[in-house]
Amino acid sequence: MKVQEKWIKAFETIFRRCKVEPNEVVRILAETESRSINLQLAELALARLGAIPVQITVPSLAVDTPVPVRSTGASHVIRHMQPVMRALSGPGLVVDLTVEGLLHAPELPEILQSGARLIMISNEHPEIIERLTTDLDLTRAVKNGVRMLAGAKVMTVTSEAGTRLDIQLEGARVGGVWGGADRPGLVQHWPGGICLAFPKSGSVNGTLVMNVGDVNLTFKRYLESAVTLHIENDYITRIEGNNLDAELMRSYLQAWNEKEAYAVSHVGWGMNPKARWDALQMFDKNDINGTELRAFAGNFLYSTGANEMAGRHTQGHFDLPMRHCTVALDGLTIVDNGTLCEVFE
């Protein structure tokens, strides 16, 4: 794949939103299996802005999991190696180009506490990044969404398909992604446009019904049949459905042979009107990581796996963006049957 001028410009736009300055030393974390075209584009864009890109490349890990790991946001490639940690620590921007990303990596809190700011560029074909790099500024709307999450006690999620979910938010860790790591201690990813909460242990109960057209991003697959997840005190206790989609979910979770794989990681909604729910259909699986589908406006995002607020860590992970849900915070509807409400300005 050849470098394209338009792609360099897209990366420049991302780095300007991260307030990259001339002569700033910017650390690029990559691994041996990173998408090489994005590494080249990052270096060229940073150089155009007058920054000094420094590449830190670590070996990709041998596969030691019972099933393939996909789209977790929890890369383990750093392995707490102290020379790598020292290189990534301290003020300045870190560009994350690892395959899985550092969003839920165990080393991330220490890196951020050192004064670094981190932009995670999703492992996508650069065409996706280009298409979603626009003048649209989601900062204010996402930050308002995060404030609403932080002030709420309960999130309820319903749908005509049968979803009835009750999520206690008191004590949850909340955050938002608008796409610009512009201050110390901040982590962002691109594409952006998401509000999330990581609930405390025992906070999620009810029934989640995934319908036709909802997405399992671990499999990079649109559901073709309904699947019902019964959830008690955070954990999926039963997966209901006599179809391939349900069978695939049961098989994947069983393969981990650990209770934490069945538990909630985070919940939230998408806010990016430029992101499309049908974009997965346009690319081969190797060319897409699915971040766009996490961010499309009006989706309800339910995820299983690691949750630091609940003291759980696992590499088993599902990101499940769903359409046609209604999401409310303390009774205030913020997503109405899959349509984002105008309550964030």
User: Token pair of 111, please?
Assistant: 């890196």
- CB 58: neighbour CB atoms within 10 A? 18
**C-alpha to C-alpha distance for 319 and 162, rounded to whole angstroms:** 19
Whole-angstrom CA distances from 99 to 58, 112, 119, 319 are: 12, 20, 14, 16
Q: Checking DSSP bridges between strand 164-168 and strand 204-210, what pairing results, if any?
A: antiparallel
Asked: is 5-131 a CATH 1.20.1290.10 domain? The reply is no
- pLDDT 10s digits, 60-119: 999 888 988 887 778 889 999 999 999 999 999 999 999 999 988 889 999 999 999 999
Domain ranges of the chain: 5-131, 139-340
Return the axis-axis angle of helices 36-48 and 5-17, rounded to nearest 10°: 70
**C-alpha to C-alpha distance for 128 and 283, rounded to whole angstroms:** 10
Q: What is the pLDDT along the chain (345 residues), one digit of tens a residue?
A: 899 999 999 999 999 999 999 999 999 999 999 999 999 999 999 999 999 999 999 999 998 889 888 877 788 899 999 999 999 999 999 999 999 999 888 899 999 999 999 999 999 999 999 999 888 889 999 999 999 999 999 999 999 999 999 999 999 999 999 989 999 999 998 888 999 999 999 999 999 999 999 999 999 999 999 999 999 999 999 999 999 999 999 999 999 999 999 999 999 999 999 999 999 999 999 999 999 999 999 999 999 998 888 988 888 889 999 999 999 999 999 999 999 998 887
How would you classify residue 286: left for phi > 0, otherwise alpha for psi between -120 and 50, otherwise beta? alpha
- CB 20: neighbour CB atoms within 10 A? 23
- Provide the sign of the torsion angle of the four alpha carbons 283, 64, 237, 194, taken in this order: negative
- pLDDT 10s digits, 35-56: 999 999 999 999 999 999 999 9
The SS3 assignment for 66 reads coil
Predicted confidence at residue 6, as pLDDT, reads 97
Read off φ and ψ for residue 336, nearest 5 degrees. -115, 105
DSSP string covering 86-134 = HHH-SSEEEEE--SS-STT-TTHHHHHHTTEEEEEE-S--HHHHHHT-S
What is the gyration radius of the CA atoms in the chain, in angstroms? 19
The SS3 assignment for 149 reads helix
Half-sphere exposure at residue 326, Cβ-oriented, CA atoms within 13 angstroms: 12
**C-alpha to C-alpha distance for 16 and 20, rounded to whole angstroms:** 6
The SS3 assignment for 345 reads coil
Predicted confidence at residue 113, as pLDDT, reads 97
Does the pTM of the predicted model rise above 0.85?
A: yes
**C-alpha to C-alpha distance for 309 and 189, rounded to whole angstroms:** 20
